[in-house]
Chains A and B, each alone.
Chain A
Amino acid sequence: SQQGEEDPQALSIQEGENATMNCSYKTSINNLQWYRQNSGRGLVHLILIRSNEREKHSGRLRVTLDTSKKSSSLLITASRAADTASYFCATEEGAQKLVFGQGTRLTINP
């Protein structure tokens, strides 16, 4: 089963611009996580936001969560070429069992 769905599927912006990716999910959650995957590599955890949190920051990352709309967004500010990657949201379906969305493929153009 697929819980999270990211939007857009692909995003291309200029270096220095902000990038926003969205994730929608279907059932109640305890937390929502965002992961990054560089081409040919494994996923790397970026940030976790709990269901009782509305916003969380980590460096240039800002995550919001709206449980009433069952949606989350990931904002990357002042993008860099190194941010080029695919970004996935993940929700828990039972203890420790993560379900990932299809991902947003982000390209930062120099």
Chain B
Amino acid sequence: DAGVIQSPRHEVTEMGQEVTLRCKPISGHNSLFWYRQTMMRGLELLIYFNNNVPIDDSGMPEDRFSAKMPNASFSTLKIQPSEPRDSAVYFCASSPAGGETQYFGPGTRLLVL
């Protein structure tokens, strides 16, 4: 079975550009999570969805970040405009209904120059 799929795997962009990260959760999972991992701050939860509805976005750093989940099999995390301090690895994870464990994708390594 396919796990969580993220694209792109690597992204290099220039400051000020828009960046869109994509995630396809495991089929049948109804919770989706976006995380950011940096050396300084570790793994931080940005936002999570249940049944395509955002439940907690308190981790979203600022208005430059937005996330959507238009259907059960697709989510996007957008950064506009991007800044060098956004450079990090962004992970998407999913979980089944009532599940306590999360299944992580391979991550997107973002570098903003």
Interface set of A (CB-CB < 8 Å, partner B) = 2, 31, 33, 40-45, 48, 88, 92, 94, 96-103
Contact = CB atoms under 8 A, between A and B. Distances in A.
Given A41-B107, A42-B4, A96-B95, A31 B45 contact: no
Nearest to A41: B106
Contacts of A103: 42-43
Given A42-B4, A103-B42, A98 B104 contact: no
B102 A98 contact: yes
B50 to A, nearest CB: 8
Interface of B is mostly: strand
Contact of B104 (A43, A48, A94): A43
Given A33-B101, A43-B91, A45-B102, A99 B45 contact: yes
Given A44-B104, A98-B102, A88 B43 contact: yes
Q: Which of B42, B91, B95 has the most CB of A within 10 A?
A: B42
A43 B101 CA distance: 11
Nearest to B43: A100
Contacts of B82: none
Interface in B1-60: 4, 31, 33, 42-43, 45, 48, 50, 56
A42 to B, nearest CB: 3
A98 B56 contact: no
Given A96-B48, A96-B95, A102 B42 contact: yes
Nearest to A45: B101
Contacts of A41: 106-107
